[in-house]
Structure 1
Protein backbone atom coordinates (compact mmCIF):
# COMPACT_ATOMS: atom_id res chain seq x y z
CA UNK A 1 0.00 0.00 0.00
CA UNK A 2 1.20 3.52 -0.69
CA UNK A 3 1.48 5.78 2.32
CA UNK A 4 3.20 8.96 3.35
CA UNK A 5 5.52 8.23 6.24
CA UNK A 6 8.61 9.01 8.22
CA UNK A 7 11.22 6.28 7.97
CA UNK A 8 14.45 5.75 9.86
CA UNK A 9 16.62 3.51 7.74
CA UNK A 10 20.37 2.87 7.74
CA UNK A 11 20.91 5.93 9.90
CA UNK A 12 18.98 8.33 7.68
CA UNK A 13 15.72 10.10 8.46
CA UNK A 14 13.60 10.31 5.33
CA UNK A 15 10.45 12.44 5.60
CA UNK A 16 7.26 12.53 3.62
CA UNK A 17 8.19 10.03 0.92
CA UNK A 18 5.87 7.62 -0.80
CA UNK A 19 6.72 4.14 0.40
CA UNK A 20 5.35 0.71 -0.36
CA UNK A 21 5.16 -0.97 3.00
CA UNK A 22 4.37 -4.48 4.12
CA UNK A 23 4.90 -5.17 7.81
CA UNK A 24 2.84 -7.90 9.38
CA UNK A 25 2.86 -11.33 10.95
CA UNK A 26 4.15 -14.40 9.14
CA UNK A 27 0.87 -15.57 7.59
CA UNK A 28 0.19 -12.21 5.94
CA UNK A 29 3.51 -12.09 4.09
CA UNK A 30 4.79 -15.67 3.90
CA UNK A 31 3.72 -19.29 3.66
CA UNK A 32 5.47 -22.64 4.24
CA UNK A 33 6.97 -23.92 1.01
CA UNK A 34 7.96 -27.49 1.85
CA UNK A 35 7.86 -30.06 4.68
CA UNK A 36 4.82 -28.53 6.37
CA UNK A 37 5.09 -31.09 9.20
CA UNK A 38 8.48 -29.54 10.05
CA UNK A 39 7.04 -26.02 10.40
CA UNK A 40 5.56 -25.03 13.77
CA UNK A 41 3.91 -21.90 15.17
CA UNK A 42 4.61 -20.81 18.74
CA UNK A 43 2.74 -17.58 19.42
CA UNK A 44 4.44 -14.85 17.38
CA UNK A 45 7.32 -17.17 16.55
CA UNK A 46 7.73 -19.54 13.64
CA UNK A 47 10.02 -22.56 13.99
CA UNK A 48 11.66 -24.59 11.22
CA UNK A 49 12.84 -28.07 12.16
CA UNK A 50 15.56 -30.25 10.65
CA UNK A 51 15.86 -33.96 11.43
CA UNK A 52 17.23 -36.96 9.55
CA UNK A 53 14.00 -37.12 7.52
CA UNK A 54 13.72 -33.56 6.25
CA UNK A 55 14.47 -29.88 6.60
CA UNK A 56 11.88 -27.16 5.99
CA UNK A 57 11.38 -23.80 4.37
CA UNK A 58 9.06 -20.87 3.71
CA UNK A 59 8.69 -18.16 1.07
CA UNK A 60 6.97 -14.85 0.50
CA UNK A 61 3.54 -14.82 -1.11
CA UNK A 62 4.64 -11.98 -3.44
CA UNK A 63 7.76 -10.91 -5.28
CA UNK A 64 9.43 -7.53 -4.84
CA UNK A 65 11.80 -5.22 -6.64
CA UNK A 66 13.91 -2.87 -4.50
CA UNK A 67 13.39 -2.04 -0.83
CA UNK A 68 14.39 -3.72 2.38
CA UNK A 69 13.45 -7.02 3.98
CA UNK A 70 14.19 -8.01 7.57
CA UNK A 71 13.59 -11.05 9.74
CA UNK A 72 14.70 -11.80 13.27
CA UNK A 73 16.25 -15.24 13.67
CA UNK A 74 17.43 -17.27 16.62
CA UNK A 75 19.69 -19.97 15.22
CA UNK A 76 20.05 -23.61 16.22
CA UNK A 77 21.46 -23.95 19.72
CA UNK A 78 24.20 -26.32 20.84
CA UNK A 79 25.88 -28.65 18.36
CA UNK A 80 24.64 -27.43 14.97
CA UNK A 81 27.46 -28.89 12.87
CA UNK A 82 26.43 -29.80 9.33
CA UNK A 83 23.32 -27.63 9.33
CA UNK A 84 22.67 -24.53 7.24
CA UNK A 85 19.98 -21.98 7.97
CA UNK A 86 19.44 -19.63 5.04
CA UNK A 87 17.66 -16.30 4.59
CA UNK A 88 17.70 -15.02 1.03
CA UNK A 89 16.06 -13.28 -1.89
CA UNK A 90 15.87 -14.90 -5.30
CA UNK A 91 14.24 -14.55 -8.69
CA UNK A 92 13.27 -17.54 -10.84
CA UNK A 93 14.91 -19.41 -13.70
CA UNK A 94 18.45 -20.40 -14.68
CA UNK A 95 19.53 -16.77 -15.13
CA UNK A 96 18.24 -15.76 -11.74
CA UNK A 97 19.53 -13.15 -9.32
CA UNK A 98 19.97 -14.05 -5.65
CA UNK A 99 21.19 -12.50 -2.38
CA UNK A 100 22.10 -15.06 0.32
CA UNK A 101 22.61 -15.15 4.05
CA UNK A 102 23.76 -18.69 4.95
CA UNK A 103 24.42 -19.48 8.62
CA UNK A 104 26.84 -22.39 8.88
CA UNK A 105 26.43 -24.47 12.01
CA UNK A 106 29.33 -25.68 14.12
CA UNK A 107 30.24 -27.97 16.97
CA UNK A 108 29.36 -26.95 20.52
CA UNK A 109 31.50 -24.05 21.68
CA UNK A 110 32.64 -23.05 18.21
CA UNK A 111 31.19 -19.90 16.62
CA UNK A 112 28.66 -19.81 13.82
CA UNK A 113 29.96 -18.53 10.50
CA UNK A 114 27.86 -16.35 8.20
CA UNK A 115 28.35 -16.79 4.48
CA UNK A 116 26.92 -14.23 2.06
CA UNK A 117 26.75 -14.72 -1.67
CA UNK A 118 25.38 -12.85 -4.67
CA UNK A 119 24.16 -14.40 -7.93
CA UNK A 120 23.72 -12.24 -11.01
CA UNK A 121 22.23 -13.73 -14.19
CA UNK A 122 22.68 -17.21 -12.74
CA UNK A 123 26.33 -16.78 -11.77
CA UNK A 124 27.37 -16.85 -8.10
CA UNK A 125 30.83 -17.62 -6.68
CA UNK A 126 30.90 -14.32 -4.78
CA UNK A 127 31.18 -15.75 -1.29
CA UNK A 128 32.31 -13.95 1.83
CA UNK A 129 32.44 -15.59 5.27
CA UNK A 130 32.45 -13.81 8.60
CA UNK A 131 32.25 -14.60 12.26
CA UNK A 132 29.75 -12.64 14.32
CA UNK A 133 30.41 -10.48 17.37
CA UNK A 134 27.73 -12.34 19.37
CA UNK A 135 26.30 -15.85 19.71
CA UNK A 136 23.35 -15.92 17.26
CA UNK A 137 21.88 -19.00 18.92
CA UNK A 138 21.28 -17.32 22.30
CA UNK A 139 18.81 -14.65 21.22
CA UNK A 140 17.02 -13.15 18.24
CA UNK A 141 18.95 -10.81 15.94
CA UNK A 142 17.77 -8.85 12.92
CA UNK A 143 19.11 -9.80 9.49
CA UNK A 144 18.30 -7.48 6.59
CA UNK A 145 18.86 -7.08 2.88
CA UNK A 146 18.62 -3.60 1.36
CA UNK A 147 18.39 -3.41 -2.41
CA UNK A 148 18.15 -0.46 -4.76
CA UNK A 149 19.57 0.62 -8.12
CA UNK A 150 22.84 1.67 -6.49
CA UNK A 151 23.77 -1.08 -4.04
CA UNK A 152 22.91 -4.30 -2.26
CA UNK A 153 23.61 -4.12 1.48
CA UNK A 154 23.61 -7.03 3.94
CA UNK A 155 22.98 -5.91 7.54
CA UNK A 156 23.09 -7.56 10.95
CA UNK A 157 21.25 -5.60 13.64
CA UNK A 158 21.48 -2.60 11.27
CA UNK A 159 25.28 -2.93 11.01
CA UNK A 160 26.35 -3.36 7.36
CA UNK A 161 28.51 -6.44 6.84
CA UNK A 162 28.69 -6.38 3.06
CA UNK A 163 28.00 -3.99 0.19
CA UNK A 164 27.80 -4.83 -3.51
CA UNK A 165 27.95 -1.57 -5.46
CA UNK A 166 26.53 -0.91 -8.91
CA UNK A 167 29.51 -0.69 -11.28
CA UNK A 168 27.64 -1.06 -14.55
CA UNK A 169 29.54 1.90 -15.98
CA UNK A 170 32.67 -0.27 -15.69
CA UNK A 171 31.00 -3.20 -17.43
CA UNK A 172 30.13 -5.11 -14.24
CA UNK A 173 26.61 -6.61 -14.15
CA UNK A 174 24.25 -5.46 -11.41
CA UNK A 175 20.94 -7.08 -10.39
CA UNK A 176 18.16 -4.59 -11.06
CA UNK A 177 15.71 -6.11 -13.53
CA UNK A 178 14.22 -9.20 -11.86
CA UNK A 179 11.62 -9.24 -9.10
CA UNK A 180 12.58 -11.48 -6.19
CA UNK A 181 10.84 -13.64 -3.66
CA UNK A 182 12.01 -13.79 -0.05
CA UNK A 183 12.81 -17.18 1.44
CA UNK A 184 14.26 -19.05 4.39
CA UNK A 185 15.09 -22.70 4.98
CA UNK A 186 17.06 -25.11 7.11
CA UNK A 187 18.73 -28.19 5.67
CA UNK A 188 21.57 -30.66 6.07
CA UNK A 189 24.76 -29.68 4.24
CA UNK A 190 27.37 -31.67 6.11
CA UNK A 191 29.29 -32.34 2.91
CA UNK A 192 30.59 -28.73 3.03
CA UNK A 193 29.04 -26.54 5.73
CA UNK A 194 31.23 -27.21 8.78
CA UNK A 195 35.02 -27.10 8.47
CA UNK A 196 34.78 -27.93 4.78
CA UNK A 197 32.68 -31.02 5.42
CA UNK A 198 35.10 -32.62 7.89
CA UNK A 199 32.54 -32.42 10.71
CA UNK A 200 29.30 -34.24 9.99
CA UNK A 201 25.81 -33.78 11.39
CA UNK A 202 25.24 -35.60 14.68
CA UNK A 203 21.65 -36.74 14.35
CA UNK A 204 21.51 -37.69 18.02
CA UNK A 205 21.12 -33.92 18.63
CA UNK A 206 18.14 -33.63 16.29
CA UNK A 207 15.74 -31.99 15.85
CA UNK A 208 17.66 -28.83 14.99
CA UNK A 209 15.37 -25.82 15.32
CA UNK A 210 15.69 -22.28 13.93
CA UNK A 211 13.21 -19.72 15.31
CA UNK A 212 11.85 -16.64 13.55
CA UNK A 213 9.88 -13.50 14.36
CA UNK A 214 9.72 -9.82 13.33
CA UNK A 215 8.89 -10.37 9.66
CA UNK A 216 9.08 -7.14 7.69
CA UNK A 217 9.06 -6.24 4.00
CA UNK A 218 9.30 -2.59 2.92
CA UNK A 219 9.52 -2.64 -0.84
CA UNK A 220 7.78 -2.56 -4.18
CA UNK A 221 5.43 -5.50 -4.71
CA UNK A 222 5.45 -6.93 -8.23
CA UNK A 223 2.36 -8.77 -9.50
CA UNK A 224 3.16 -12.03 -11.25
CA UNK A 225 1.10 -10.91 -14.25
CA UNK A 226 3.26 -7.80 -14.80
CA UNK A 227 6.21 -8.10 -17.19
CA UNK A 228 9.81 -7.34 -16.25
CA UNK A 229 10.02 -3.98 -18.00
CA UNK A 230 6.82 -2.69 -16.43
CA UNK A 231 7.91 -3.85 -12.96
CA UNK A 232 11.23 -2.03 -13.33
CA UNK A 233 9.42 1.16 -14.34
CA UNK A 234 6.92 0.82 -11.52
CA UNK A 235 9.51 0.22 -8.81
CA UNK A 236 12.07 2.91 -9.60
CA UNK A 237 11.80 6.65 -10.01
CA UNK A 238 14.24 9.37 -11.02
CA UNK A 239 12.00 11.83 -9.17
CA UNK A 240 12.71 10.22 -5.79
CA UNK A 241 9.19 8.87 -5.44
CA UNK A 242 10.39 5.96 -3.31
CA UNK A 243 12.67 6.08 -0.29
CA UNK A 244 15.14 3.67 -1.89
CA UNK A 245 15.68 6.11 -4.78
CA UNK A 246 16.69 8.99 -2.53
CA UNK A 247 20.30 10.25 -2.93
CA UNK A 248 21.09 9.36 0.69
CA UNK A 249 20.36 5.72 -0.12
CA UNK A 250 22.91 5.55 -2.94
CA UNK A 251 25.79 4.76 -0.58
CA UNK A 252 26.62 4.23 3.07
CA UNK A 253 27.09 7.25 5.27
CA UNK A 254 30.40 7.82 7.06
CA UNK A 255 29.38 6.00 10.25
CA UNK A 256 28.14 2.98 8.30
CA UNK A 257 31.34 2.93 6.23
CA UNK A 258 33.34 2.77 9.45
CA UNK A 259 31.09 -0.02 10.73
CA UNK A 260 31.64 -2.01 7.56
CA UNK A 261 35.40 -1.56 7.69
CA UNK A 262 35.41 -2.68 11.33
CA UNK A 263 33.39 -5.81 10.52
CA UNK A 264 35.59 -6.75 7.60
CA UNK A 265 38.83 -6.03 9.48
CA UNK A 266 37.86 -7.90 12.66
CA UNK A 267 35.45 -10.60 11.49
CA UNK A 268 36.19 -11.43 7.84
CA UNK A 269 37.34 -15.02 7.43
CA UNK A 270 37.08 -15.49 3.68
CA UNK A 271 36.66 -13.11 0.74
CA UNK A 272 36.45 -14.40 -2.82
CA UNK A 273 38.04 -11.17 -4.03
CA UNK A 274 41.36 -12.16 -2.45
CA UNK A 275 41.24 -15.87 -3.33
CA UNK A 276 43.85 -16.01 -6.09
CA UNK A 277 43.70 -19.81 -6.28
CA UNK A 278 40.06 -19.65 -7.40
CA UNK A 279 40.38 -16.37 -9.27
CA UNK A 280 43.88 -15.82 -10.73
CA UNK A 281 42.39 -12.75 -12.38
CA UNK A 282 40.69 -10.49 -9.85
CA UNK A 283 36.91 -10.33 -10.49
CA UNK A 284 35.99 -7.01 -12.06
CA UNK A 285 33.68 -5.98 -9.24
CA UNK A 286 36.52 -6.39 -6.73
CA UNK A 287 38.83 -3.90 -8.40
CA UNK A 288 39.15 -0.46 -6.79
CA UNK A 289 37.05 -1.59 -3.87
CA UNK A 290 37.37 0.59 -0.80
CA UNK A 291 37.03 -2.38 1.58
Structure 2
Protein backbone atom coordinates (compact mmCIF):
# COMPACT_ATOMS: atom_id res chain seq x y z
CA UNK A 1 0.00 0.00 0.00
CA UNK A 2 2.53 2.55 -1.23
CA UNK A 3 1.43 5.99 -0.07
CA UNK A 4 1.73 7.98 -3.26
CA UNK A 5 0.08 10.98 -1.59
CA UNK A 6 0.24 10.24 2.13
CA UNK A 7 -1.71 12.58 4.37
CA UNK A 8 -0.18 14.69 7.07
CA UNK A 9 0.78 12.83 10.24
CA UNK A 10 -0.09 15.74 12.47
CA UNK A 11 -2.69 15.13 15.14
CA UNK A 12 -5.95 16.73 14.02
CA UNK A 13 -9.32 16.36 15.75
CA UNK A 14 -12.33 15.57 13.51
CA UNK A 15 -15.35 17.76 13.77
CA UNK A 16 -18.07 16.80 16.21
CA UNK A 17 -20.49 16.32 13.31
CA UNK A 18 -18.11 13.97 11.53
CA UNK A 19 -17.49 12.02 14.71
CA UNK A 20 -21.18 11.50 15.46
CA UNK A 21 -22.00 10.55 11.88
CA UNK A 22 -19.78 7.49 12.17
CA UNK A 23 -22.60 5.81 14.09
CA UNK A 24 -24.95 5.98 11.11
CA UNK A 25 -22.61 5.49 8.17
CA UNK A 26 -22.24 1.73 8.52
CA UNK A 27 -26.01 1.25 8.09
CA UNK A 28 -26.26 3.27 4.88
CA UNK A 29 -27.53 1.80 1.61
CA UNK A 30 -25.36 -1.04 0.28
CA UNK A 31 -23.52 -1.04 -3.02
CA UNK A 32 -24.41 -3.46 -5.80
CA UNK A 33 -23.12 -7.00 -5.33
CA UNK A 34 -22.79 -10.07 -7.47
CA UNK A 35 -24.29 -13.47 -6.71
CA UNK A 36 -22.85 -16.88 -5.95
CA UNK A 37 -20.74 -18.59 -3.33
CA UNK A 38 -17.37 -20.27 -3.89
CA UNK A 39 -16.99 -24.01 -3.35
CA UNK A 40 -16.05 -25.00 0.20
CA UNK A 41 -12.22 -25.06 0.27
CA UNK A 42 -12.19 -27.83 2.86
CA UNK A 43 -9.68 -26.15 5.20
CA UNK A 44 -9.74 -22.99 7.30
CA UNK A 45 -6.23 -21.69 8.04
CA UNK A 46 -7.65 -18.83 10.13
CA UNK A 47 -8.71 -21.29 12.83
CA UNK A 48 -5.10 -22.23 13.49
CA UNK A 49 -4.55 -18.83 15.09
CA UNK A 50 -6.19 -17.32 18.14
CA UNK A 51 -7.56 -13.77 17.98
CA UNK A 52 -5.04 -11.24 19.25
CA UNK A 53 -5.63 -7.99 21.09
CA UNK A 54 -5.17 -4.84 19.05
CA UNK A 55 -3.55 -3.04 21.96
CA UNK A 56 -1.15 -5.92 22.51
CA UNK A 57 -0.09 -6.42 18.89
CA UNK A 58 -0.33 -2.97 17.27
CA UNK A 59 0.34 0.69 17.81
CA UNK A 60 -0.99 3.81 16.13
CA UNK A 61 1.18 4.98 13.26
CA UNK A 62 -0.55 8.23 12.30
CA UNK A 63 -3.89 9.98 12.75
CA UNK A 64 -4.40 8.88 16.39
CA UNK A 65 -7.49 11.04 16.80
CA UNK A 66 -9.10 9.24 13.86
CA UNK A 67 -8.84 5.89 15.62
CA UNK A 68 -10.95 4.23 18.34
CA UNK A 69 -10.51 0.81 19.95
CA UNK A 70 -13.64 -0.55 21.63
CA UNK A 71 -13.69 -4.13 22.98
CA UNK A 72 -10.94 -5.09 20.54
CA UNK A 73 -12.80 -3.67 17.52
CA UNK A 74 -10.85 -0.91 15.80
CA UNK A 75 -12.55 1.97 13.99
CA UNK A 76 -10.49 4.30 11.81
CA UNK A 77 -11.74 7.04 9.54
CA UNK A 78 -10.77 9.58 6.93
CA UNK A 79 -12.05 13.12 6.71
CA UNK A 80 -10.73 16.25 5.03
CA UNK A 81 -8.13 16.76 7.78
CA UNK A 82 -6.54 13.31 7.94
CA UNK A 83 -6.87 9.56 7.76
CA UNK A 84 -5.32 7.02 10.11
CA UNK A 85 -2.98 4.06 10.15
CA UNK A 86 -1.61 1.40 12.50
CA UNK A 87 1.41 -0.91 12.59
CA UNK A 88 2.36 -4.18 14.29
CA UNK A 89 4.69 -3.99 17.26
CA UNK A 90 7.10 -6.52 15.80
CA UNK A 91 8.30 -7.48 12.31
CA UNK A 92 7.89 -10.94 10.79
CA UNK A 93 9.84 -13.00 8.31
CA UNK A 94 6.85 -15.23 7.50
CA UNK A 95 3.37 -15.91 8.85
CA UNK A 96 -0.40 -15.71 8.62
CA UNK A 97 -1.93 -12.22 8.93
CA UNK A 98 -5.70 -11.78 8.97
CA UNK A 99 -8.43 -9.40 10.10
CA UNK A 100 -12.18 -9.16 9.74
CA UNK A 101 -13.01 -5.86 8.04
CA UNK A 102 -16.22 -3.96 7.33
CA UNK A 103 -16.05 -1.24 4.68
CA UNK A 104 -17.70 2.13 4.25
CA UNK A 105 -20.85 2.06 2.05
CA UNK A 106 -21.94 4.49 -0.61
CA UNK A 107 -19.63 6.91 -2.43
CA UNK A 108 -16.02 6.11 -1.52
CA UNK A 109 -14.15 7.04 -4.70
CA UNK A 110 -10.51 7.87 -4.06
CA UNK A 111 -10.52 6.25 -0.61
CA UNK A 112 -8.22 3.30 0.14
CA UNK A 113 -8.81 0.92 3.05
CA UNK A 114 -5.75 -1.30 3.41
CA UNK A 115 -4.30 -4.27 5.28
CA UNK A 116 -0.75 -5.07 4.24
CA UNK A 117 2.82 -6.10 4.98
CA UNK A 118 5.69 -3.70 4.36
CA UNK A 119 9.22 -2.78 5.34
CA UNK A 120 9.05 0.74 3.90
CA UNK A 121 10.25 2.36 7.11
CA UNK A 122 13.25 0.04 7.37
CA UNK A 123 14.10 0.35 3.67
CA UNK A 124 12.78 3.72 2.45
CA UNK A 125 12.72 3.99 -1.34
CA UNK A 126 13.73 0.33 -1.74
CA UNK A 127 11.14 -1.66 0.15
CA UNK A 128 9.02 -4.81 -0.14
CA UNK A 129 5.27 -4.92 0.27
CA UNK A 130 2.32 -7.34 0.10
CA UNK A 131 -1.04 -5.60 -0.14
CA UNK A 132 -4.72 -6.13 0.36
CA UNK A 133 -6.32 -2.84 -0.70
CA UNK A 134 -9.99 -1.96 -1.09
CA UNK A 135 -10.33 0.61 -3.85
CA UNK A 136 -13.17 3.03 -3.20
CA UNK A 137 -16.01 3.28 -5.67
CA UNK A 138 -18.87 5.42 -6.92
CA UNK A 139 -22.55 4.97 -6.15
CA UNK A 140 -24.01 1.73 -7.47
CA UNK A 141 -20.67 0.12 -8.32
CA UNK A 142 -18.99 -2.64 -6.28
CA UNK A 143 -15.73 -2.34 -4.41
CA UNK A 144 -12.54 -3.60 -6.01
CA UNK A 145 -10.21 -5.71 -3.87
CA UNK A 146 -6.67 -5.22 -5.14
CA UNK A 147 -3.87 -7.61 -4.22
CA UNK A 148 -0.32 -6.53 -4.96
CA UNK A 149 3.29 -7.56 -4.41
CA UNK A 150 6.27 -5.20 -4.53
CA UNK A 151 9.88 -6.35 -4.39
CA UNK A 152 12.52 -3.74 -3.60
CA UNK A 153 10.30 -1.03 -5.01
CA UNK A 154 10.54 2.72 -4.83
CA UNK A 155 8.14 5.62 -4.86
CA UNK A 156 9.71 7.44 -7.80
CA UNK A 157 7.45 6.11 -10.53
CA UNK A 158 9.63 3.13 -11.45
CA UNK A 159 7.92 0.74 -9.06
CA UNK A 160 6.87 -2.61 -10.51
CA UNK A 161 3.42 -3.57 -9.32
CA UNK A 162 2.01 -7.08 -9.54
CA UNK A 163 -1.67 -6.26 -9.25
CA UNK A 164 -4.55 -8.67 -9.41
CA UNK A 165 -7.98 -7.11 -8.87
CA UNK A 166 -11.23 -8.77 -7.88
CA UNK A 167 -14.85 -8.05 -7.28
CA UNK A 168 -16.33 -9.93 -4.34
CA UNK A 169 -19.20 -12.41 -4.13
CA UNK A 170 -20.77 -10.42 -1.26
CA UNK A 171 -21.26 -6.81 -0.19
CA UNK A 172 -18.26 -5.97 2.03
CA UNK A 173 -20.10 -3.01 3.57
CA UNK A 174 -22.89 -5.09 5.11
CA UNK A 175 -20.92 -7.30 7.46
CA UNK A 176 -17.43 -8.28 8.57
CA UNK A 177 -15.49 -10.66 6.34
CA UNK A 178 -12.06 -12.12 7.01
CA UNK A 179 -9.18 -11.10 4.75
CA UNK A 180 -5.74 -12.62 5.10
CA UNK A 181 -2.23 -12.85 3.69
CA UNK A 182 -0.20 -16.01 4.20
CA UNK A 183 3.48 -15.35 3.50
CA UNK A 184 6.07 -18.10 3.58
CA UNK A 185 9.52 -18.37 1.96
CA UNK A 186 7.90 -20.36 -0.88
CA UNK A 187 4.62 -18.59 -1.62
CA UNK A 188 2.14 -15.85 -0.82
CA UNK A 189 -1.54 -16.78 -0.61
CA UNK A 190 -4.34 -14.20 -0.39
CA UNK A 191 -7.54 -15.44 1.27
CA UNK A 192 -11.08 -14.12 1.74
CA UNK A 193 -13.13 -15.95 4.38
CA UNK A 194 -10.52 -18.75 4.16
CA UNK A 195 -11.03 -19.09 0.40
CA UNK A 196 -7.75 -18.70 -1.52
CA UNK A 197 -8.18 -16.09 -4.25
CA UNK A 198 -4.56 -15.74 -5.39
CA UNK A 199 -1.32 -17.68 -5.01
CA UNK A 200 1.99 -15.99 -5.80
CA UNK A 201 4.91 -18.43 -5.99
CA UNK A 202 8.56 -17.78 -5.34
CA UNK A 203 10.20 -18.42 -8.69
CA UNK A 204 13.36 -16.46 -7.94
CA UNK A 205 14.79 -14.33 -5.13
CA UNK A 206 14.53 -11.30 -7.43
CA UNK A 207 10.74 -11.61 -7.71
CA UNK A 208 9.84 -12.53 -4.13
CA UNK A 209 9.90 -10.54 -0.85
CA UNK A 210 12.23 -12.19 1.68
CA UNK A 211 13.20 -9.39 4.09
CA UNK A 212 11.26 -8.99 7.38
CA UNK A 213 8.07 -6.93 7.19
CA UNK A 214 5.61 -5.35 9.63
CA UNK A 215 1.82 -5.63 9.43
CA UNK A 216 -0.09 -2.41 8.74
CA UNK A 217 -3.61 -1.11 8.21
CA UNK A 218 -4.82 2.31 7.11
CA UNK A 219 -7.45 4.47 5.48
CA UNK A 220 -6.29 7.36 3.30
CA UNK A 221 -6.96 9.52 0.24
CA UNK A 222 -5.52 8.11 -2.99
CA UNK A 223 -7.65 10.17 -5.36
CA UNK A 224 -4.87 10.38 -7.95
CA UNK A 225 -5.18 6.69 -8.87
CA UNK A 226 -7.53 4.61 -6.72
CA UNK A 227 -10.85 4.72 -8.59
CA UNK A 228 -10.81 4.06 -12.32
CA UNK A 229 -7.21 5.33 -12.54
CA UNK A 230 -8.05 8.59 -10.78
CA UNK A 231 -11.14 9.47 -12.83
CA UNK A 232 -13.23 9.83 -9.67
CA UNK A 233 -11.86 11.66 -6.62
CA UNK A 234 -12.66 11.64 -2.93
CA UNK A 235 -15.75 13.77 -2.22
CA UNK A 236 -15.64 15.07 1.34
CA UNK A 237 -19.32 15.94 1.34
CA UNK A 238 -19.65 12.21 2.19
CA UNK A 239 -17.14 12.33 5.05
CA UNK A 240 -16.15 10.73 7.33
CA UNK A 241 -15.19 7.53 5.53
CA UNK A 242 -15.10 4.76 8.12
CA UNK A 243 -13.45 1.33 8.25
CA UNK A 244 -13.84 -1.21 11.04
CA UNK A 245 -11.38 -4.00 11.86
CA UNK A 246 -11.77 -6.83 14.35
CA UNK A 247 -10.82 -10.50 14.86
CA UNK A 248 -7.13 -9.87 14.28
CA UNK A 249 -5.25 -13.14 13.82
CA UNK A 250 -1.51 -13.29 13.23
CA UNK A 251 1.17 -15.84 13.84
CA UNK A 252 4.34 -17.24 12.38
CA UNK A 253 8.03 -16.50 12.56
CA UNK A 254 8.89 -13.04 13.79
CA UNK A 255 12.18 -11.44 12.81
CA UNK A 256 13.40 -12.46 16.28
CA UNK A 257 12.34 -16.12 16.12
CA UNK A 258 15.02 -18.82 16.10
CA UNK A 259 16.23 -20.11 12.75
CA UNK A 260 14.34 -23.38 13.23
CA UNK A 261 10.94 -21.64 13.35
CA UNK A 262 8.75 -23.41 10.78
CA UNK A 263 6.77 -21.21 8.35
CA UNK A 264 3.00 -21.66 8.43
CA UNK A 265 1.03 -23.17 5.55
CA UNK A 266 -2.24 -22.22 3.86
CA UNK A 267 -3.20 -25.90 3.71
CA UNK A 268 -2.89 -29.02 5.87
CA UNK A 269 0.36 -29.74 4.02
CA UNK A 270 3.23 -28.63 6.26
CA UNK A 271 5.37 -28.02 3.19
CA UNK A 272 2.90 -25.46 1.83
CA UNK A 273 0.83 -25.41 -1.31
CA UNK A 274 -2.93 -25.87 -1.64
CA UNK A 275 -5.18 -28.91 -1.60
CA UNK A 276 -7.25 -29.91 -4.60
CA UNK A 277 -10.36 -28.41 -2.96
CA UNK A 278 -8.55 -25.14 -2.32
CA UNK A 279 -7.38 -25.01 -5.93
CA UNK A 280 -10.94 -25.59 -7.10
CA UNK A 281 -12.24 -22.78 -4.91
CA UNK A 282 -9.51 -20.42 -6.13
CA UNK A 283 -10.22 -21.25 -9.78
CA UNK A 284 -13.93 -20.64 -9.15
CA UNK A 285 -13.22 -17.17 -7.75
CA UNK A 286 -10.78 -16.24 -10.48
CA UNK A 287 -13.07 -17.44 -13.27
CA UNK A 288 -15.95 -15.27 -12.00
CA UNK A 289 -14.54 -12.33 -10.05
CA UNK A 290 -11.01 -11.62 -11.31
CA UNK A 291 -11.17 -8.35 -13.26
CA UNK A 292 -7.46 -7.54 -13.77
CA UNK A 293 -4.26 -9.57 -13.92
CA UNK A 294 -0.98 -7.75 -14.51
CA UNK A 295 0.39 -10.77 -16.39
CA UNK A 296 -2.39 -10.41 -19.00
CA UNK A 297 -2.01 -6.65 -19.50
CA UNK A 298 -0.60 -5.98 -23.01
CA UNK A 299 0.47 -2.49 -21.94
CA UNK A 300 2.89 -3.88 -19.33
CA UNK A 301 6.57 -4.57 -19.99
CA UNK A 302 6.66 -8.24 -19.09
CA UNK A 303 10.43 -8.41 -19.22
CA UNK A 304 10.17 -6.75 -15.80
CA UNK A 305 7.86 -9.46 -14.47
CA UNK A 306 9.53 -12.73 -15.50
CA UNK A 307 7.36 -14.72 -13.07
CA UNK A 308 4.51 -14.26 -15.58
CA UNK A 309 6.13 -16.48 -18.18
CA UNK A 310 8.55 -18.73 -16.30
Give TM-score scaled by structure 1 length. 0.82
Specify the SS of the correspondent of 2:300. coil
Ranges in structure 1 where 5+ consecutive residues have no aligned partner: 1-8, 14-18, 224-230
Q: Which residue of 2 aligns with 1:131?
A: 167
Ranges in structure 2 where 5+ consecutive residues have no aligned partner: 1-40, 154-158
Q: Which residue of 2 aligns with 1:111?
A: 142
Residues 1:144 and 2:180 aligned together: yes
CA contact (8 A) 2:95 2:253 kept: yes
Give 1:44 shift: 2.8
CA contact (8 A) 1:70 1:143 kept: yes
Give 1:249 shift: 4.1
- Give matches, 1:243-282, under 5 Å: 243-244=264-265, 247-279=269-301, 281=303
Q: Distance in 1 between matches of 2:51 and 2:255?
A: 16
Residues 1:161 and 2:197 aligned together: yes
Give TM-score scaled by structure 2 length. 0.77
Residues 1:173 and 2:207 aligned together: yes
* Structure 1 stretch displaced more, 101-110 or 21-30: 21-30
Q: Distance in 2 between matches of 1:217 and 1:147?
A: 11
1:198-234, Cα deviation, whole Å (9 max, x unpaired): 11212111000000101111111224xxxxxxx6xx3
Q: RMSD of the TM alignment (CA)?
A: 2.4
Alignment coverage as a number of residue pairs: 259
Specify the SS of the correspondent of 1:73. strand
- Give matches, 1:2-17, under 5 Å: 11=43
Q: Distance in 2 between matches of 1:247 and 1:44?
A: 32
Q: Which has the higher strand share?
A: 1
* Structure 1 stretch displaced more, 194-203 or 53-62: 194-203
CA contact (8 A) 2:160 2:304 kept: no
Give 1:278 shift: 1.8
Specify the SS of the correspondent of 1:132. coil
Give 1:68 shift: 0.3
